[in-house]
Structure 1
Amino acid sequence: MANKKIIIAIDGYSSTGKSTVARQLAKALGYIYVDTGAMYRAVTLFAMRKCFVDATHFNKEALERFLPFIHIHFEVNTKTGIAEVYLNNENVEKEIRKLEVSKLVSPVAAVSVVRRKLVEQQQLMGKDKGIVMDGRDIGTVVFPEAELKLFMTATAKDRAERRYNELIERGDKVTYEDVLKNVVNRDHIDSTRKDSPLRKADDAIMIDNSNLTLEEQFEQIMKITKDIISKME
């Protein structure tokens, strides 16, 4: 690959495989990968542990007061080569992926003060380019100037099936109905929130992977990436 480095912004609905393809791209290009969804999940986990949020209530004011005490960073797991998220120096990578966190992350991510804090951190991470970042508002808010923007989508049914299988393989006790309900609910909250709602950037390339294998998806996106980088030279 050429030495010209770019910013790759990947947005889209939950459970569309954004993180998977972002990791693949980062590894192939020698770029840094940042999973912004993990950052919001870490904040959500913090709020859950402090009893600021659960299925029946959400104390936004308390969470906002404690934001200065929330420190998030990524460290590469030397065995897997994957960057894992740390909350106040504790590896919470596995805990933040649980369905309990998934059910509460969208309301937490909708809080304007939380978004501002994390967006500032995300923009700093991309100042030298050579980064692949995925989330809900990367191409619209975090890096509107990104050289490559992708928007991932798939049917709710397909996404729920993938997420369900992933959770079951990991040993979590969940039902498909609960996972599907969570996917649909997150879509609604993410798309209708007032602050940085999920939407496709005007210049983003839509990738519908409902009927694509992981290999087909990666090949398609890698070709697009190479074309963009070659035009930058």
Structure 2
Amino acid sequence: MKKISIAIDGHSSTGKSTLARQLAKSLGYVYIDSGAMYRAVALFALENGLIGETLDEAGLLEHLQALELGFEVNPKTGRSEIHLNGENVEQQIRSIAVSRFVSEVAALPEVREKLVKLQQEMGAEKGVVMDGRDIGTVVLPEAELKLFMTAAPEKRAARRYKELLDRGESVTYQEVLRNVRHRDYLDSNREVSPLKQAADAIRLDNSDMGLKEQYERVRSFADRILNAKK
């Protein structure tokens, strides 16, 4: 059976990664979390004193080309996890501190240029599920299946809040909601590759949708395309 590429875009905290992992596992495809790559760059900036009240853009760009980013399968979980300069940083990149600055880092044209190139190289072969903000519009514009995921900001903040509490972080719901809305604004209004729905993408609002229903609906979209390619 011929393989396809699946591009999943959408707002923060809509469960893009969860759905992408489910699809990749069930189809035997490679999962690429593009958002983790931007988070890893933001983590590097934080850990190297390049973020105070604001982001030291010039300082980050000095180090950018030397950064090594890649994914390796964790033998314990079977999941593909992000590595920064040879170190697994999958847990560190999920902090609220990284979330505060990742959209600003992702808005830098030089950062996007480097990471988009890496993502396109990873997705050069079919049989990939990639999620992010500009996958269907910029990274994999020829993907056979494109999704745009969204949900009410309050719903997304509640999900993210629970996730952070479960991880042991000390945050408030209002802080998380502010972060969600701020990221929405930055992602949608940046000059380079802003978040927007591709013309041929299927819009999926999962505000009141369970994970099982969501997966089954999207898997049916993929199956329809795959069956047509037999």
TM normalised by structure 1 equals: 0.97
CA deviation map 1:15-69 (0-9, x unaligned): 0000000000000000000000000000001111121123x12111111111122
Partner of 1:17: 15
CA deviation map 1:133-162 (0-9, x unaligned): 000000000011110000000000000000
Which residue identity lines up with residue 210 of structure 1 in the other structure? S
The number of residue pairs the alignment matches comes to 230
Runs of 4+ off more than 4 Å = none
SS at 1:73 equivalent = strand
Task: Give identity over the alignment, percent.
Answer: 57
Partner of 2:195: 198
SS at 2:65 equivalent = helix
**In structure 2, what is the Cα distance between the partners aligned to 1:231 and 1:206?**
21
Partner of 2:216: 219
CA deviation map 1:78-108 (0-9, x unaligned): 1211111110011111000000000000000
**In structure 2, what is the Cα distance between the partners aligned to 1:199 and 1:63?**
26
Partner of 1:44: 42
1:36-115 aligned at under 5 Å gives the runs: 36-54=34-52, 56-115=53-112
SS at 2:197 equivalent = coil
**In structure 1, what is the Cα distance between the partners aligned to 2:123 and 2:65?**
22
1:132-171 aligned at under 5 Å gives the runs: 132-171=129-168
Unpaired runs of 5+ residues, structure 2, are none
**In structure 2, what is the Cα distance between the partners aligned to 1:47 and 1:218?**
35
Which residue identity lines up with residue 163 of structure 1 in the other structure? R
Which residue identity lines up with residue 6 of structure 1 in the other structure? I
Unpaired runs of 5+ residues, structure 1, are none
SS at 1:52 equivalent = coil
**In structure 2, what is the Cα distance between the partners aligned to 1:151 and 1:129?**
20
SS at 1:69 equivalent = coil
Which residue identity lines up with residue 40 of structure 2 in the other structure? A
